[in-house]
Chain A
């Protein structure tokens, strides 16, 4: 082996000690503390938990759909119609909030809601989640729109397609995998989020993030908590594998 490869050792060791070993550890703990597979059975079957899964999935789905509806047209406007300076302005404005602390964004929304008399609950939490994931979906859609350059739209137009047809038959199919990737990332993010539900969810808005927090930091149920975390990992890994597989095929296909 080439000795210069050893320079990668600190990175690998670091990831093993502080990322992979902890994951392996919770997988084992989830299996051992209360005896395998009891924690997993409890995590799957306990009715009180189902509320978190169902509400979490519903909230994540609705928030993701809202983010798509809000950001996809903006991404297409920026990519195809906006002039250079306007485009830069839109992209900067849409992306910048991503770098604001999630809590600050949730807090600002909480203040706005309270000012207009909306108290925390399921729907305010959904809006909060959509607010959080908007930049993710926007970036993905904008990258997707950039995959179908202006010239392809022009080509469709000279071949007889109207603006809507050109959009539906060329721009949308080409950018769809990217939008889907953004949607998947946004779903996983909202499903597992804790910051927004803790500030905007009140007593009716919960996600899997809340459940894990409660089990681990408040309830001391480490076995069940890690079982839930491991299952969440599997769900998101499966989603990521599906999407990356699809994007990879598209990349290779060209």
Chain B
């Protein structure tokens, strides 16, 4: 009886997992197909992949995405760290705590529309910087909630270090930083990925000539054709690479988080 329930659930679980990965598998298969047409297999090829280095639009979009993601992740972490440093010894829920939640809860599209209209009202030029400030607006909130537990909970250990004879600087280097390090890694990984994969906010707040990878893929996916860089199989090759890298980063990160969770 008990074994039966377990076996059923197990079969169900792996069926769901198969369903979840079926589209991604289809994408990967398509990317190796000789034919540019969807669902048509005319033999194995790597030619779509070999086209990627020549696709200047994609490379520029990749560069744009990487720079926005890295800058947004770094600046949001710095801003969040500063704020947390100001409230080290405060245990109760503060106004700052409450202020960071709405950006996490509100639908992307509302934030995006509001920011677009406000930036236009201010006369702020749309492009790299408008996208960057838009991404950073949700990233500061994520960075704050990820970093808060480590930075707020560690004061007892810092006090212990002080009684053992460490100076404030030594405490910072030997206790505070090592304790915050896992949080910093998490915060960077998550904010970077959130920005790198963001679509809606970028779609609304970008200006002419500034395209990130998600935008480029969307533009091409909406009007696919048989042209060099707009065929489905080429798009599939590009997407497969991106999916594979996102999934590996996410998998490594999740495993890391699970292991830390299991230890504490």
Using a CB–CB cutoff of 8 Å, the interface residues on chain A facing chain B are: 2, 4-8, 10-12, 14-15, 18-23, 25-26, 29, 70-71, 73-74, 76-78, 81-82, 88, 90-105, 107-112, 114-117, 131, 134, 162-164, 188-189, 191-195, 198-199, 208-209, 212-213, 216-217, 222, 225-226, 229-230, 232-233, 236-237, 240
Contacts and interface: CB of A to CB of B under 8 A. Distances in A.
Nearest to A102: B199
Interface string B111-153: 1011111110100000000000110110011001000000000
B contact residues, range: 35 or more
Interface in B184-223: 193, 196-197, 199-200, 203-204, 213-214, 217-218, 221-222
A18 B133 contact: yes
Given A19-B103, A107-B217, A192-B108, A70 B9 contact: no
Interface in B53-89: 79-80, 82-83, 85-88
B108 to A, nearest CB: 7
B13 A77 contact: yes
Nearest to B24: A108
Nearest to A128: B23
B8 to A, nearest CB: 9
A8 B254 contact: no
Nearest to A95: B254
Interface stretch (B44-52, B171-179, B236-244): B236-244
Contacts of A134: 20
A14 B107 contact: no
Nearest to A213: B109
A111 B199 contact: no
A86 to B, nearest CB: 9
Contact of B116 (A2, A216, A233, A236): A216
A78 B249 CA distance: 22
A22 B140 CA distance: 16
B26 interface: yes
B106 A90 contact: no
B1 interface: yes
A102 B199 CA distance: 8
Given A22-B117, A116-B39, A71 B96 contact: no
B107 A236 contact: yes
7 contacts: A4-B86, A22-B111, A88-B258, A99-B247, A104-B217, A107-B235, A116-B39
B79 A111 contact: no
Contact of A11 (B5, B23, B79): B79
B38 A111 contact: yes
A107 B221 CA distance: 7
Interface of B: 1-2, 5-6, 9-10, 12-13, 16-17, 19-24, 26-27, 30, 38-39, 79-80, 82-83, 85-88, 96, 99-100, 102-103, 105-111, 113-119, 121, 133-134, 136-137, 140-141, 144, 193, 196-197, 199-200, 203-204, 213-214, 217-218, 221-222, 232, 235-236, 239, 242-243, 246-247, 249-251, 253-255, 258
B96 to A, nearest CB: 5
Given A15-B103, A192-B110, A237-B105, A7 B239 contact: no
A146 to B, nearest CB: 10
B151 to A, nearest CB: 12
Contacts of B17: 74, 90, 93-94
B16 A115 contact: no
The 10 closest A-B pairs by CB, nearest first: A115-B39, A7-B86, A192-B107, A22-B114, A99-B250, A22-B118, A11-B83, A108-B23, A8-B83, A108-B27
Contacts of B213: 101
A21 to B, nearest CB: 6
Contacts of A98: 250
Contacts of A74: 12-13, 16-17
Contacts of B99: 11-12, 15
Contacts of A5: 86-87
A177 B145 CA distance: 22
Nearest to A157: B2
Could you say which of B30, B79, B85, B196 has the most chain A C-beta atoms within 10 Å of its C-beta? B79
Nearest to B7: A81
A110 B17 CA distance: 18
A104 B239 contact: yes
Given A12-B99, A91-B258, 17 more contacts: A19-B103, A22-B111, A23-B114, A73-B16, A77-B9, A93-B20, A94-B20, A104-B27, A107-B217, A108-B239, A163-B5, A192-B110, A198-B218, A212-B113, A216-B117, A229-B110, A237-B102
